[in-house]
Structure formats: structure tokens, C-alpha cells
Amino acid sequence: MINIALCIYSAVKLKLIMQKIVIFFTLIQTFSVLGTADLEVGFYQDSCPNTEQIVRSTMEQHYSADLKIAPAILRLHFHDCFVRGCDGSVLISSSSSEKTSPFNAGLSGFEVIDDAKNRLESGCPGIVSCADILALAARDAVSLTGGPSWEVATGRRDGSVSSALDTFNLPTPFDSVAVLKQKFLAKGLSAQDLVTLTGAHTIGRAECRLVSYRLYNYTGKGDVDPSINTNFANILSMQCPRKGSGRNLIPMDTGSPDVFDSTFFFNVVQGNGVLESDQKILDDMSTRAYVRTYAGFDQAANSFESAFADAMQKMGGIEVKTGSEGNIRKVCSVLN
Ligand code: HEM
């Protein structure tokens, strides 16, 4: 009888200890989640309810004055996210900031983000991060050019470091597909994401200096890159003459450089990719099928747009600072 009572007593005690252990671990989990809050759609709903409309109307205004703003902002967001995460570090102006790196040559559109920030600061000072403004503006850039739209989770905090030395992991048009895949994988993005996000080149332009070597001296013997369609090589040679054209800007999606569509992939399948890295995603077996699918060869052509929206949401979450990390900059081009 005494033995049975002892057994029941031990079982009850063990149960209580187990309950305490469960409560302890639940508390630890809760505190660690509080320290690193996640991004959230509508993060500014209470603190600055008009955030998304203000960014949108700023974009609309700049875009109606100059269509080139849309691709510029989209590229800016990409270059922000790949270096120290999406934390607005690309926006900083200083003698050694990311902006000064050769990897970031040709970036533009900074004034649009500064403008949106000014407008937001006048109603909600110190609330909306520059990193979020850029992520929202990039979404608007795509929808303004006829592409998809998506919900942007917000709550990013701004970084307090911006160094040109950190930009080496940005992809270049001279990288092999293996290297590009590696650079994307390091940011949690797959081979499919690489192809999908490269589709951003459906809008915007590239300088001839990044293309001419494919036309005039591909292997150092005065030859043409054999992956370029011959007719297209002739067109490119007219746009980028051998001498003095380095700074000329040429469309990366021949035929519709101001419209967000899937013709970029169709062009690549035809050998009409402008950047070498754009053309090479057709040759590599791990990326080829996605290019063909988005071009409309293997499946419905419009699968690109929804994949692009998903990939942008993924890219916008790279190494973000949230909760008590980072800060909210007062001026986007200046560290607090
Ligand atoms: C896959 C690796 C990528 C490489 C190697 C690459 C490279 C380049 C290069 C060389 C240019 C032309 C820059 C100039 O002439 O100044 C460019 C432009 C552009 N890139 Fe990329 N890019 C890549 C991925 C991306 C991604 C992921 C996005 C956005 C999601 C993006 C968006 C753009 C846009 C919109 C432009 C046109 C900019 C303008 O017209 O102002 N790129 N890219």
C-alpha cells in the first residue's frame, strides 16, 4: 500500500518537473523571438498608416518625369540586399561607402528614396526605415512598368555600416553560372531564383563597356562571343561601335526595355541576351529549363510574373535587421 502511494507521489512529482521544463523552454523561445522580430505586412499600419501610399505616389511622380527611374530603383534594392542584407547600406554617401565601389557603378535613383523619406519624415518622424522605403519602391517600380505586384513585408531596420570593401559578393556579368549560383546560394536563393530575378533585366539598360568585349575581343583574338546570335551581334555592334561608345546605354530587353514582360527570356533563347551572364543561363543545364519555361516554350509564359513576385519577397528578406537591431535613419544618405 505504502509502495503504491510512493509510486503515485513520484509520478505526480515527475509530471510537475516536466511541466516546469516545458514552461522554461517556451519562455526561452518567446524571448528569443522578441529579440529578432520578423518582417510583417502592414508593419506601419498604426505608426505611420500612409507609408505605402506615400512611397507609391513619390514613385509615380518621379516615374512620370523619367521612365528610367523604375529600373534604377529595382537594381538599387537588389544591390542593397546582397550587401549586408536589405538594410539601406547602399544609400549611404561617403568617400568609402558601398556606393563608391566599381561593383555599384551606374546605380541611380537615390534622389527618389531621399524624396520619399523627406515626405514620410514630415508626418512620421523617425518611424519608417530607408530599407523599407527601398523595398516598397522596388515593388512599385515593377508594377508601374506593367509587371506583377506583391505584398511587401516591412519592419526592416537601417544598418549603421556601409563600406565599398563589402561589395565583392555582388554578381558581375563576367561571372560563370557556377559562380552566380554560388553568390545567390550564399544569400539563400536557389538556381531558379537566380534565373527568375535575372528577369529583372526585362527593364533597363546596360553600358556598352560591359558588352563590347563580347563583340570585338571575346577570347583575346578579336573574335565574337559564339553564344550571340549573328544578326543580333550586328545590331549590338551598331549600338556599341568599337571606339568611344563605352558609356552608351543599350536596352537589355531588346524591343521592350521599359515594359516588364517575359520577352527578356524569349530574347535569351534566341541568343539575343545583352549581358554575357544573361546569355549563359541558357547554356547551363541547371538553369536552362527555367529560362525556356519563362520564355513560354515549355509552359504558360506568364509563370514568370508570379515566380518573380515570390522571388522578390525572398530577396527582400535577406539578412534583414529587425526588432532592436539597427536603427531608423533620419536621412537615407547619412548614417545616424
Ligand atoms: C544575376 C546576376 C546579375 C548580374 C550579373 C547583373 C548585372 C547587371 C549589369 C552589368 C547591369 C548594367 C549596369 C550598367 O550598365 O551600369 C545591370 C542592370 C540592371 N540590373 Fe542587374 N544583374 C544581376 C541581377 C539582377 C537582379 C537580381 C536584379 C533585380 C532583382 C537586377 C536588376 C537590374 C536592373 C533593373 C538593371 C537596369 C538598371 C537601369 O537601367 O538603371 N539585376 N545588371
- Of 335, 20, 325, the closest CA to residue 157 belongs to 325
Residue ranges in the chain whose pLDDT is less than 50: 1-2, 4-8, 11-12, 14, 16-18, 20-36, 301
pLDDT at 18: 46
**Ligand 1: which of 101, 172, 201 to mutate, most ligand atoms within 8 Å of CB?**
201
- Find out whether 248 and 239 touch, Cβ atoms under 8 Å: yes
**Ligand 1: which of 78, 104, 256, 274 to mutate, most ligand atoms within 8 Å of CB?**
78
- Rounded Cα gap, residues 276 and 296, in angstroms: 22
pLDDT at 226: 97
* DSSP-assigned states of every residue in 17-29: HHHHHHHHHHHHH
| Structural domains for the chain | 51-169 (1.10.520.10), 177-315 (1.10.420.10)
pLDDT at 34: 37
* Positions marked active-site: 79
Residues with C-beta less than 6 Å from any ligand 1 atom: 68, 71-72, 74-75, 78, 105-106, 108, 171-173, 180, 194, 197-198, 200-201, 203-207, 210, 275, 277
* DSSP-assigned states of every residue in 181-198: HHHHHTTT--HHHHHHHH
- Rounded Cα gap, residues 194 and 177, in angstroms: 9
- Of 234, 255, 246, the closest CA to residue 206 belongs to 246
CA of 95 to the centre of ligand 1 (A): 23
pLDDT at 96: 98
What is the Rg, in whole angstroms, of the alpha carbon atoms belonging to the chain? 25
- Rounded Cα gap, residues 274 and 24, in angstroms: 58
CA of 183 to the centre of ligand 1 (A): 14
Dig out the grid coordinates for 15 from the structure: 509530471
Ligand 1, atom 12, residue with closest C-alpha: 206
Dig out the grid coordinates for 23 from the structure: 514552461
- Find out whether 110 and 76 touch, Cβ atoms under 8 Å: yes
Q: Which atom of ligand 1 is nearest to the CA of 197?
A: 27
Beta bridge partners of 207: 249
Ligand 1, atom 27, residue with closest C-alpha: 197
pLDDT at 87: 98
- Cβ neighbours around 241 below 10 Å, total: 13
CA of 326 to the centre of ligand 1 (A): 27
Find cell 516598397 and name the residue.
136
pLDDT at 259: 98
CA of 70 to the centre of ligand 1 (A): 12
CA of 291 to the centre of ligand 1 (A): 17
Side-chain-side CA neighbours of 321 within 13 Å: the count stands at: 21
